[in-house]
Amino acid sequence: MSQTADPSAGRSVRTRPGASARALHEAYDTALLDLDGVVYAGGQAIAYAVDSLATARADGMHLAYVTNNALRTPDTVAEHLTELGIPTGASDVITSAQAAARLVSEQVPAGARVLVIGGEGLRVALRERGLEPVDSADDDPVAVVQGYGGPDMAWGRFAEACYAIARGVPWFASNTDLTIPSARGIAPGNGAAVEVVRIATGAEPQVAGKPLPPMHRETILRTGAERPLVVGDRLDTDIEGAFNGEVDSLLVLTGVTDAAQLLAARPEHRPTYVDADLRGMLTGQREVTAVDGGFGCGGWTASVRGGELALDGEGAALDGLRALCAAAWTEAGDGVCALDPGKALARLGW
C-alpha cells in the first residue's frame, strides 16, 4: 500500500511522491483508469494514451475504465474506446451508475420501481440489478436515483425527483462531480444537478461514485484486482477515491488538475505518483530525497525560502515538480500549503 494520509484513522501523512524502481505497469496488476481528462478529452484520445495503453495491455496489465459519468452504458463506452484504437469490452468498463444501482438494490425489494433522473446508463444498470426504472413520481417508485443526464435534460425531471423525495422515498446519486469536461470547456456536472434537488427538498442523497467506497467496491468486485493502481486527473475524485480505498494512485496532468493545485493538495488528495500523461504508466518513478535545506529529485532541489516555494538546479520539469511537492507537502503537514509557488513553477514552464 502507499503511504496515505488520514491522521484520525492512524494512517501516516504523505509528504512526498513515491518512488518505483519498476515500471508501474509491471508493479501493479490492474490499472483503474478514469476516462475524461486521462484517456480522452472532448471525445478524442489524449496524446500518447492509445500507444501507452496498448503497451501496458500487451505486457499483461489488466486495464479497467472507471467513470463517474452515469449517462453512457458500458457498451457505449467500450465502443467509443475501441473506435479510438483502444480495444475494450463492456466488462472492462465500470460506471457510477452500476455502483449506484447496486447500492439501491441492497436497500429495496427485488423488482422494485425506481424513479430515474438521468440517462440510459442508469436504466441499464438498474435492470442489471433486477429493478424497474420509471419516469414519474406518480409511478409509485420506492427510490429515486439521479445521475448525469446530459445537456438536454429537461428541468421537469428535477421536479419529479422532488415530488418523490417529498413523499419519503430514499434518494441516491451516482456522483456529485460539480463539473464535467466537454469539447467546448467545463460544463455543469451531476453534482450541480444534485444541488438543485438538495436545495428544493432539504434532503441528502446517498452517493455511490468516486471518491466514496461504493464505487471502489464495485470496481474491485468487477475487476478482481489484487494490486490496483488508480490513474486519474482529478484530486477530489480519482486521488481521494484511491485514498479512501487504500490503494496507490497516479495523477496525470492532462485533465483538470494543474501543478499549483497539486502543490496545495490536502493529505487525502496527494497522489502516490505524478506524471505528465499515460506514458508514466510505462516507467519507473524517480525518488525524491531529503537534502540539506530541502528535497532533491533529478537535478532539482526544492525548498521553502523567503515565505515561498523555491527551486534551484535544472533537469526534467517533472522531477522539479516532484521535488516541489515534497517541499510543499512537508511544509503543510496534514493541512494545505499556502506558500506562493509562482516563481518556482515558472521555472518549470507551468
**Catalytic residue IDs:** 34, 36
Task: Please give the backbone phi and psi of residue 119, each rounded to the nearest 5 degrees, phi first.
Answer: -115, -165
Contacts of residue 114, defined as CB under 8 A and 6 or more positions apart, other chains included, come to: 104, 108, 126, 131, 132, 133, 134, 141, 142, 143, 144, 145
Contacts of residue 58, defined as CB under 8 A and 6 or more positions apart, other chains included, come to: none
Which residue shows C-alpha cell 496524446? 47
The rounded radius of gyration (Å) of the Cα atoms in the chain is 21
- Whole-angstrom distance between the N-terminal and C-terminal Cα of the chain? 30
**What secondary structure letter does DSSP report for 42?**
T
Q: How far is CA 342 from the centre of its chain?
A: 26
Which of 232, 260, 242, 238 lies closest to 46, judged by CA?
A: 232
